[in-house]
């Protein structure tokens, strides 16, 4: 089965009070990619640091068939990764070594090093 993977960000609903939000499309991550259970991707340099991103995984073509089949990830953050960060597959609370620990399944990990930014989705 092929899926489309899309990046969204949660933003305040204009004119709406009480903390209401809406999802705003950011970009396609991959379209019509084979559903292997995981997907590795690199966050583009122009992605704004934000605490309210989510990824939509949609079965390719299901919207056109009238019944969209989809799932959103939990909300997550994209942050700039400072120089000297943890190696790929590890994260740090302060973004610097030492203190790096392995990411668990279901989390998003830095793809470390040299000012790069990235994330990896597991368990989809």
Find all residues with CB under 8 Å of 36, minimum gap 6, and list them: none
Cα 49–29–106 angle (5° rounding)? 70
65-99 pLDDT, tens digit each: 888 999 999 898 887 655 555 666 666 655 555 56
Paired residues of 120 in beta bridges: 40
Q: How far is CA 90 from the centre of its chain?
A: 16
Q: Per-residue confidence at 8, pLDDT binned at 50, 70, 90?
A: very high
Extract the runs of DSSP E, i.e. beta strands, from the chain. 2-12, 21-34, 39-41, 50-59, 70-72, 76-78, 90-91, 101-102, 119-121
Confidence of residue 47 (pLDDT cuts 50, 70, 90): confident
């Amino acid at each position: 089965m092929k899926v489309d993977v899309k990046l969204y960000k949660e933003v305040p609903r204009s004119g709406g009070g009480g903390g209401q939000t809406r999802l705003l499309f950011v970009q396609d991550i991959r379209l019509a990619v084979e559903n292997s259970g995981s997907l590795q991707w690199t966050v583009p340099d122009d992605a704004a640091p934000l605490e309210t991103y989510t990824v939509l995984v949609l079965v390719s073509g299901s919207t056109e068939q009238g019944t969209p089949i989809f799932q959103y990830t939990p909300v997550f953050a994209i942050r700039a990764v400072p120089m000297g960060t943890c190696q790929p597959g590890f994260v740090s609370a302060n973004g610097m070594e030492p203190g790096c620990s392995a990411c668990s399944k279901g989390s998003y990990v830095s793809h470390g090093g040299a000012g790069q930014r990235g994330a990896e989705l597991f368990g989809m």
